[in-house]
Structure 1
Amino acid sequence: MQRRHLIAGGLAAAALPGFSFAQALEKTKVTIAVGGKNLFYYLPLTIAEQQGYFKDEGLDVSIVDFAGGSRALQAVVGGSADVVSGAFEHTINMQLKGQPMRAFVLQGAAPQVVLGVNPKTMPNYKSVADLKGKKIGVTAPGSSTNVVANYVLAKAGLKPSDVSFVGVGAGNGAVAAMRAGQIDAISNLDPVITLLLRSGDLKIISDTRKLDEAERVFGGPMPAGCLYAPQPFLDKHPNTAQALANAIVRADKWIQQAGGGDVIKVVPESYLLGDRAVYIDGFMAAKQAMSPDGSFPAKGPQTALRALASIDPKLEANKVDLNAIYTNEFVKKANAKYPKG
C-alpha cells in the first residue's frame, strides 16, 4: 500500500511543469555577497536578478551589497552569505589560506578595472613612477581594484607600500573623492570611470576594459567577475550551484545581444548615477570585457596566479592547485540547456 502511494506520488510530481528528480534543489534560498553591485563588473548578476532568471531556476536569491569584493568574501567566510559574486583571483588566496573556494561560472572575461590619475592633483603626471608617495582610491583594500593597481605599480618598479591605498567604494563617493582632490589616482570600474572621464576628472593610465590591453597588462587572459563558493557548498548543493550557473549564463548571453538602451530599461535607476548617457557609454566600453558564455579560459587561472605572485612575494605559486580553484562543468550543462540564452 505504502509503495503504491509512493509510486503514485512520484508520478504526480513528475507531471508537474519543470519538475525533475535530477534538478531537485538542495537549497532554494541562496544569499550572494557582492562588492559594488551597481558596477558593470557585476552586470550579469543584476540582469539575472531583474530578468527573473534565478526565479526561473526555482531559486529565491538575496543579494547583499558591500563596499568591495574583499568585504563580500568576508561575508561568505563568516557564514552570512553562501556564494560570492567577485573577482576570480580571490580563489587562489583562499586556497593558500586553507579555505578552498571554487569559481563555477564567469561573468567577466577581463577585469574592467581602470587605473587613472587626478589631473587636479597631478597635472604634470608623466609615468607610473610618479605615483610614489601618492594616495590611490580603490573600492576596498584587498579588492580586485587594489590587486590591479598593485600589478600596474609592480611593472613600474613600485611596491604596494610605496603608495597609500584609500577605500572609496564603487559609487558617488569614489567620484566625489576624485573631484575634491582627496585622492591622487583611482583604480575603479564603470560607471564611475566614464563619469570621471566625461567631467575631465581622470586621465587613464591602464584600461583593462579592453580585452587586448588586459591581455597585454597581464600577459594572458585574466578571468574577472565570477560566482565562487566554498568547496563544501558545491559538494553539498550541486543542483543549486547548477541553477545559479544557468541563470548567470543566460544573463551573459542576454548582455551580448543588448544595446545600451536595453540595459538602462532593466537595471535600477540608482545604477545610472544620475546620468543615463554616461551609463550607456560605460556599458558600451565594458561590453567587450563581459564573458560571452560563462566559460573560464584554459590559461586564465595561470594568468591570475602569475599576477598575484608578482605583487606578493610570499605567495608560493607551486603550492596552488589551479584545477581546484575553478570548474567549467556547471557552465557546460548551462550552455547545453540555454544554447541561445
Structure 2
Amino acid sequence: MAVTRRQLLQAAGAAGALGLAPFSVHAKAATRKVHIAVGGKALVYYLPLTIAEQRGYFKDEGLDVTISDFAGGSKALQAVVGGSADVVSGAFEHTLHMQSKRQMYRAFVLQGRAPMIGFGVSNKTMANYKSPADLKGKKIGVTAPGSSTNMLVSFFLAQHGLKVSDVAIIGVGAGAGAVTAMRTGQIDAISNTDPVISMLEASGELRTIADTRTMKDTLAIFGGNMPAGSLYAPQSWLDANPESAQALANAIVRADKWIQKAGVDEVAKSVPAAFLLGEPEVYKAAVRKSMDGLSPDGRIPPDGAATALKALAAYLPDFPADKIDPALVWTNQFTDVANKRYPDG
C-alpha cells in the first residue's frame, strides 16, 4: 500500500496541472461489486450508509454492495489496508493519518459534517465530577482504540493539560455493549455517538461534558469545520474505479438529502429494528440531536482537512503535520456530479 517518492511527485504534478484531485486519465473499467467496511453501522454517525442500502440507492446505481461491520473505525480501516474490503465508511481524519504513513487515501463523499460524538462521565462512578482533572486515573470507553471517538478524548485531554497516559482507554464497541459497559460500571466515562449517548442521557446515567453533534459546538471545540463520517478509499482504488466511486457518491448524496427531508419518524421506520435498541423514541431523539451534524449534500468543506490536521497534530505525539498535504486526502469531484444529477435527492 506504500507509495514511492516518484509516485507522490507524479500525483502532485497531476493535481497541479489539472487543478483538481489526481485521478488517472486512463482509468480501468469500473468494478461494480464494492465491499465497504464500517465501524459501527447502527450509529447515527453512519446513518446515510444505511439509508442508501435500505432504500435501494446502491442498486439504483448498478452496484452490488457488501457491507461488513466492525467494532470501530480503526478496525474498518484495517480491513481495507489488509485487502478484504475496498472502501471505508469511517472518520475523515484517518485519511491524514494514513498519509503520515505514506499510504494515500482520499475521502470522496461526506456523511457527517460534524463528528457527532458525545463525551460524558458516569453519574454513578463520577457523580462528583467538577473538571477534566477528575478524569485522571479513570477508565474511558471508546468504540475502538484509535477510532474517532478515541481522537475526541485525546483532543479534549490535551486541551485541558492532560495526557492519554493519564487515563485508561477501553474499547467497548458502538451499540448495546457500550451502554452495558457504562451501566455496569466497567467504565467511568464514554466517548461514543448516537444512539448510545442519547440513551444514556435519557436514563440519567450520563453527564455530557463535550458534544460535537451540532455545528456550533464543533466549531467552538475545533476552531473550524471538522468533517466526520465519510466514504474514503485508497487512491489506487479511486484511480482504477472512478465509475464505482461516482455511483457510491450518488447513492450517499441521495441518502444525505433524503434524511434532511424525511425527518426522524421516517428515518426510524427505515432503519433495521435492531438499530433502535428497543427504545424507538430515544433513537428518534438521537437522530434529532444529530440532524445538524449530518451532511445535507455530501460535500466536504474546503477548510475541513486543515482543521482535522490541526486536531491530529494537537494530540498525536510527533505527528509529522508539516509533511502532510491536506489537499490530497479529499475531493468533491464526485459529489459535485452527484448534486447535479440529483438536485432534489
For this structure pair, what is the TM-score category when the shorter chain's length is used for normalisation?
A: over 0.9
Residue 34 (structure 1) aligns with: 38
Match of residue 191, structure 2, among 187, 201, 206:
187
Return the TM-score normalized by structure 2. Answer: 0.91
Residue 139 (structure 1) aligns with: 143
Match of residue 321, structure 2, among 317, 320, 327:
317
Given that 1:24 and 1:239 are in contact with CA atoms closer than 8 Å, whether structure 2 keeps it comes out as no
Are residues 1:297 and 2:301 paired? yes
What amino acid maps onto 1:196 in structure 2? L
Distance 1:94 1:81 in 2: 16
Are residues 1:62 and 2:73 paired? no
- List 4+ stretches of structure 1 deviating above 2 A: none
Alignment coverage as a number of residue pairs: 319
SS in 1 for 2:311: helix
Tell which deviates more after alignment, 223-232 or 153-162.
Answer: 153-162
Residue 329 (structure 1) aligns with: 333
Residue 128 (structure 1) aligns with: 132
Residue 268 (structure 1) aligns with: 272
Distance 1:26 1:338 in 2: 21
Structure 2: gaps of 5 or more residues: 1-26
Superposition deviation, residue 210 in structure 1? 1.4
Residue 248 (structure 2) aligns with: 244
Distance 1:243 1:275 in 2: 34
SS in 2 for 1:178: helix
Residue 199 (structure 1) aligns with: 203
Are residues 1:149 and 2:150 paired? no
Match of residue 256, structure 1, among 250, 254, 260:
260
Distance 1:40 1:33 in 2: 16
Given that 2:254 and 2:342 are in contact with CA atoms closer than 8 Å, whether structure 1 keeps it comes out as yes
Residue 213 (structure 2) aligns with: 209
Are residues 1:115 and 2:119 paired? yes
Given that 2:28 and 2:241 are in contact with CA atoms closer than 8 Å, whether structure 1 keeps it comes out as no
Residue 8 (structure 1) aligns with: none
What amino acid maps onto 1:231 in structure 2? Q
Superposition deviation, residue 338 in structure 1? 0.4
Task: Report the structure number with the largest CA radius of gyration.
Answer: 1
Are residues 1:284 and 2:288 paired? yes
Given that 2:195 and 2:286 are in contact with CA atoms closer than 8 Å, whether structure 1 keeps it comes out as yes
Superposition deviation, residue 313 in structure 1? 2.6
Distance 1:301 1:212 in 2: 18
Residue 18 (structure 2) aligns with: none
After superposition, the C-alpha distances for 1:296-322 in whole angstroms (9 at most, x for unaligned) are: 111110100000000013111110011
SS in 1 for 2:247: helix
The correspondence of residues 214-233 of structure 1 with structure 2, limited to 5 A, is: 214-233=218-237
Given that 2:28 and 2:240 are in contact with CA atoms closer than 8 Å, whether structure 1 keeps it comes out as no
SS in 2 for 1:228: strand
The correspondence of residues 85-104 of structure 1 with structure 2, limited to 5 A, is: 85-104=89-108
SS in 2 for 1:206: strand
Given that 1:253 and 1:340 are in contact with CA atoms closer than 8 Å, whether structure 2 keeps it comes out as yes
Given that 1:25 and 1:240 are in contact with CA atoms closer than 8 Å, whether structure 2 keeps it comes out as no
Superposition deviation, residue 227 in structure 1? 0.2
SS in 2 for 1:298: coil
Distance 1:26 1:227 in 2: 17
Distance 1:91 1:275 in 2: 35
Superposition deviation, residue 248 in structure 1? 0.4
Match of residue 167, structure 1, among 168, 171, 177:
171
SS in 2 for 1:55: helix
SS in 1 for 2:125: coil
Distance 2:28 2:272 in 1: 31
Superposition deviation, residue 25 in structure 1? 5.9
What amino acid maps onto 1:269 in structure 2? A
What amino acid maps onto 1:62 in structure 2? T
Distance 1:330 1:172 in 2: 35
What amino acid maps onto 2:114 in structure 1? A
Residue 339 (structure 1) aligns with: 343
Structure 1: gaps of 5 or more residues: 1-22
Superposition deviation, residue 24 in structure 1? 10
Are residues 1:43 and 2:47 paired? yes
Distance 2:214 2:109 in 1: 21
After superposition, the C-alpha distances for 1:210-264 in whole angstroms (9 at most, x for unaligned) are: 1100111001110000000000000000111000000000000001112111011
Given that 2:29 and 2:240 are in contact with CA atoms closer than 8 Å, whether structure 1 keeps it comes out as no
SS in 2 for 1:148: helix
